[in-house]
Amino acid sequence: MESMITGGIKGLEMLEIGPCKDSYEMGFLIGQRFSRQINSRLSKDLILRNQLLPFARSPHSHSLLKSLSENNITRYPNYWDELQGTARGSGVSFLEIMLLNFRKEILPFIPKEEESSTIDTNDDCSDILVVSDSMAVAAHNEDANVALVGHTYLIKGNLANGASFTAYTYAGELPSCAFGFNSHGLAFTLNSVPPSKHEMDAGGIGRNFISRDLLEAQSIDDALARIHSSEASVGHSYNLIDTKTRRILNVETASRNRCSVHEVGAEPFFHANMYLHLGVEQEKDENSLSRQKRAAVLPKASRKDFLLLLGDTNDSKYPIYMGGPLLHTLCTAVIDLDEQTLSIIEGDPKERQPSFVFSMS
């Protein structure tokens, strides 16, 4: 897998690492290299400071954190070691690193009396996907809480078995809770979804661990198998992209190994942050519903149309391209299955050229 960098780089840094002697060393070197970004995020993340840490210090948290720790250590011991290394390398407490990585698995279970006024926002990403005779493209807006602005980086991990992956990574979290690809020609992007609380299993497997595992999947079928058997605590939507077979699958999941697969075809498929085909009771998300409605009326006939859609700000309250105050579009990723490239655009995708273009062949 070769990579090339084009265009001007606006702050996003990349570390190539490995092969390492073990997962702990990989995490340690990542933490050491990005210590500044990790420490800065920890100091500015109000959800961590005002909700997660106070909850973790209360007696209500003990059984949940114990279950999350034990189940994820058992299922993914190497990735747990990677997290331990990240904490040590960056010089921060493992508790804070753990809470960041289990944010979505903890927040729904914080007792009402312990909730603060700090608002949690979904990681409201948008994807437009198509596989037709003329083009096969997955375009993705990576949207996140304002605390993530300036607190992301790229990891290229070279593994002991000869494979490698490239992952857009939130500071202090496992690669990648956002999007990435590997040397087997498999890529993925992610969309958060909001299942109702009774649809969740407290103490199950964390989404960050599942997506970290996908970076090592050897095929789209292998990726599906890893998702199917993951025993996730909460829900998620995965866009699996296989450049070798020219396929894109949207996979919606919920706890208790519930899963629905939609194969993307010639009809462009837009996914925001609501379940579209898995029958799960979910929380109403006006932001997502608004973006879904707006995308339905925009042209989607070309790659340029996709970028115009992802850069759309027509709705001032719930734009597809987000500029704050709480939610920001951190970047846009465009995966072209025919060119076998992944491009990262920092800034409005209607106006900016890619900062990075990676060859996936």
Query: What DSSP line would sit under 191-203, residue for residue?
Result: E---B-GGG--TT
Distances in whole angstroms, Cα of residue 361 to Cα of each of 17, 135, 329, 337: 20, 17, 28, 10
Within a domain: residue 159? yes
Identify which of 161, 157, 23, 144 has the alpha carbon closest to the alpha carbon of residue 86.
23
Q: For the chain, what percent of residues have pLDDT higher than 70?
A: 94
Q: Which amino acid is at 75?
A: R
284 with 332, same domain: the answer is yes
Within a domain: residue 121? no
Average confidence (pLDDT) over 148-172 = 97
pLDDT at 149 over 80: yes
Is-contact 300 130, C-beta < 8 A? yes
Identify which of 351, 335, 290, 325 has the alpha carbon closest to the alpha carbon of residue 138.
335
pLDDT at 196 over 90: yes
> Given the DSSP bridges, would you call strands 152-158 and 164-170 parallel, antiparallel or unpaired?
antiparallel
pLDDT at 80 over 80: yes
190 with 170, same domain: the answer is yes
What average pLDDT does the chain have? 93
55 with 169, same domain: the answer is no
pLDDT of residue 361: 85
The tally of domains found in the chain comes to 2
Within a domain: residue 6? no
d(CA 273, CA 137): 20
The domain that contains 207 carries what CATH number? 3.60.60.10
182 with 305, same domain: the answer is yes
Tokens, residue 307 = 């970028």
Write out pLDDT tens, residues 279-324: 999 998 899 999 999 999 999 999 999 999 999 999 999 999 999 8
pLDDT of residue 123: 65
Within a domain: residue 131? yes
283 with 202, same domain: the answer is yes
54 with 92, same domain: the answer is yes
Within a domain: residue 11? no
What b/e sequence results for 191-226 when a residue is b if at least 16 CB atoms lie within 10 Å of its CB, and e otherwise? bbbbbeeebbbbbbbbbbbbbbbbbbbeebeebbeb
Domain boundary among 114, 139, 161: 114
34 with 105, same domain: the answer is yes
d(CA 168, CA 180): 6
Write out pLDDT tens, residues 113-143: 654 444 455 567 999 999 999 999 999 999 9
More confident residue, 4 or 81: 81
110 with 133, same domain: the answer is no
pLDDT at 2 over 90: no
d(CA 120, CA 95): 20
Average confidence (pLDDT) over 91-113 = 94
Q: At what angle do helices 77-90 and 35-44 cross, to 10 degrees?
A: 90
Write out pLDDT tens, residues 12-35: 999 999 999 999 999 999 999 999
More confident residue, 6 or 35: 35
> Given the DSSP bridges, would you call strands 152-158 and 13-17 parallel, antiparallel or unpaired?
parallel
Within a domain: residue 319? yes
Within a domain: residue 270? yes
pLDDT of residue 5: 44
Domain boundary among 58, 90, 114: 114
pLDDT of residue 324: 84
217 with 99, same domain: the answer is no
The domain that contains 53 carries what CATH number? 1.10.439
pLDDT of residue 321: 97
d(CA 223, CA 200): 22
82 with 132, same domain: the answer is no
Write out pLDDT tens, residues 243-292: 999 999 999 999 999 999 999 999 999 999 999 999 999 998 899 999 99
End-to-end CA distance of the chain: 6
Within a domain: residue 298? yes
> Given the DSSP bridges, would you call strands 247-254 and 341-345 parallel, antiparallel or unpaired?
unpaired
Domain range spanning residue 268?
Answer: 126-359
30 with 110, same domain: the answer is yes
Is-contact 340 182, C-beta < 8 A? no
Domain boundary among 114, 134, 166: 114
- Cβ neighbors of 132 (< 8 A, separation 6 or more) are 265, 266
The model scores a pTM over 0.75: yes
- Cβ neighbors of 184 (< 8 A, separation 6 or more) are 163, 217, 218, 219, 244
pLDDT at 161 over 60: yes
Identify which of 259, 322, 304 has the alpha carbon closest to the alpha carbon of residue 122.
322
Is-contact 37 150, C-beta < 8 A? yes
203 with 72, same domain: the answer is no
User: At residue 228, what are phi and psi to the nearest 5 degrees?
Assistant: -55, -40
